Amino acid sequence: YSCKGECKAGTVSCNKGAWTACSGDVKPVAEICDKKDNDCDGQTDEDNVCNVPCSHPNLLIILDKSGSMGQNNKWNDVVGVIRNITNTYNGKVRFGLESFSSAARVDYGLDSCVQDGTKCVSNLQKALSRLSPGGGTNFLAALSTAQTHLKDVIGKDSVKGRKHRILFITDGQATCADREITVLRSFRVGGVTYDIKTYVVGWGTGVEVTCLNRMATNAGTAQSGSKKYYSANDYAALLK
C-alpha cells in the first residue's frame, strides 16, 4: 500500500546486529464514514461506505454435522434453533450456511442470499433440511472453507466496511483452529483489513473446553468465567 490518507510508514532499528519489528506504522483498514481515507487509496468515504449503518450485516453459520450430532436429539435441536434465528432476523441479516464433518462445504452462500433476496431464508432452510449428521470433526477445514468464501464475498461487495460475523456451532473435539480464528480478526481483502469476529458455541458436554476457550478468546467474543465460549446443553440454552 502507499502512504496516502491515514497510512504512514513506520521505523525499524538495528539492535545487536538484528532489525527490530516495525513500529509506528499505520496500515490501511476498511473504509468507514468519517471523512478520512482509512483504506489509503486516495479517496474519502468511497464505495457507498456512509450507508454502511443501513446495510445488512453478513452472518455465516458454520454447523458441525459430525456423527455425534445425531445423538440425544442434538441435530433436531440445532436445526430448530437455526430456523428460529433465520426467521427472526429475516430481512435484517444476510445469512450463509456452511457445514463440516471430516470435510467442509458451503451449502448456501452469502452471495446466494443476496441473489435470492426475499427467498434467502427459505432457500437456506431448504439447504439445511438436506443435511444429516455423519463423519468426523475437522475444525481446520471448516475455518479454511469459511475464509475462502468470505474473501470471495467481500471482494465482490459494493459496500465496503460491511460487518461480517460467524456463528460456529460444534459438539465435538478436533485439532484446534484458534490460529485460523485469529486470521479472521485481521482479514485482508483488496488491500483492506476486516475484523471478522466468531461466536463459538459448544453444544453438549463432549466438547474440548480448552480449545473452544482459545478459539473464543482469539475470536474477540470471550465471555467472563471459566468457559469463554457459549455453552449449551439443551434447546433453550442454545436458543439464547
pLDDT of amino acid 240: 73
Report the chain's terminal Cα–Cα distance, integer Å: 42
Distance CA(118)–CA(84), nearest Å, equals 17
pLDDT of amino acid 30: 76
Across the chain, mean pLDDT equals 90
Model pTM score: 0.80
Question: What Rg, from alpha-carbon coordinates, does the chain have?
Answer: 20
Distance CA(158)–CA(164), nearest Å, equals 14
- E strand or H helix at 144: helix 139-156
Cell 457459549 sits at which residue? 230
pLDDT of amino acid 2: 59
- Residue 153: which pLDDT band, with cuts at 50, 70 and 90? very high
Burial (CB count <10 Å: 0-12, 13-18, 19+), residue 26: middle
Q: What percent of the chain has pLDDT over 90?
A: 65
pLDDT of amino acid 75: 95
The contacts of residue 17 (CB under 8 Å, 6+ apart) are: none
Q: Which amino acid is at 19?
A: W
pLDDT, greater one: 4 or 34: 34
- Residue 213: which pLDDT band, with cuts at 50, 70 and 90? very high
- Residue 234: which pLDDT band, with cuts at 50, 70 and 90? confident
pLDDT tens digits along 111-137: 999 999 999 999 999 999 999 999 999
200 Cα distance to chain centroid: 10
- Residue 49: which pLDDT band, with cuts at 50, 70 and 90? low
10 Cα distance to chain centroid: 30
- Angle, CA of 57, 59 and 78, to the nearest 5°: 145
- pLDDT above 90: residue 193: no
Q: Which amino acid is at 9?
A: A
pLDDT of amino acid 52: 52
- pLDDT above 90: residue 51: no
pLDDT, greater one: 24 or 179: 179
User: Do 206 and 172 contact (CB within 8 A), yes or no?
Assistant: yes
Distance CA(74)–CA(239), nearest Å, equals 13
pLDDT tens digits along 163-181: 999 999 999 888 899 999 9
